Amino acid sequence: MPEPYRVMTVCTGNICRSPMAEIVLRDRLEAAGLGDRVVVDSTGVSDEERGNPIDRRARTVLLEHGYAVDGTHRARQVRPDDLASRDLVLAMTAQHARALRRLVEGRRGPGQRPGIQDLADRLRMYRSFDPAAPHVEPGGTESVLDIADPWYGGAQDFEDCLAEVEAAADGIVEHVRAALR
């Protein structure tokens, strides 16, 4: 059996946006018949929430929308090795994308290949797959594609976050399907 295609979603603390995206993508990939060929996980750029479960408000909104939330998620910080082993890395905000690029740049040493270009080929803004999202030219302002952090808000903020995650999910599934051909 060939190696699975590996997708990672990344937010700040890995308790709201990225695990929500992970769960939605798993559901959509399974529905598309790709669940056995694709592995999806999530991380955060910060270590502040390490070991914590998915935020209860994120869990609630996912359950209300029919997603399976098994309770095994534990927040973890992204590591350079994570980036090297993923086929597609999906940042929730432009700030997260910059942090991921810095993480790779910081690992370059004499004689090592410049991993930043390799990452550039695999790093995308999550919302760039939403057909209704603004189009950003290369080198443009990625922040128009940010998925706002619902942590500081109420139930509606989590609903809005899930809506943005869902709006891009089918585009990501099609991107993965094409990559697997």
- The catalytic site residues sit at 11, 17, 149
Beta carbons of 38 and 7 less than 8 angstroms apart: yes
Beta carbons of 44 and 18 less than 8 angstroms apart: yes
Residue with tokens 């973890």: 76
Using the Cα atoms of residue 75, residue 61, residue 98 and residue 90 in order, give the sign of their dihedral.
Answer: positive
**Greatest distance between any 2 Cα atoms in the chain:** 51
Half-sphere exposure at residue 102, Cβ-oriented, CA atoms within 13 angstroms: 7
Cα–Cα distances in angstroms (integers) from residue 121 to residues 74, 85, 86, 168, 177, in the given order: 28, 13, 11, 19, 17
Single out the residue of 64, 14, 68 nearest to residue 41, CA to CA.
Answer: 14
Helix locations, the chain, DSSP H: 17-31, 56-64, 80-84, 94-105, 115-122, 155-180
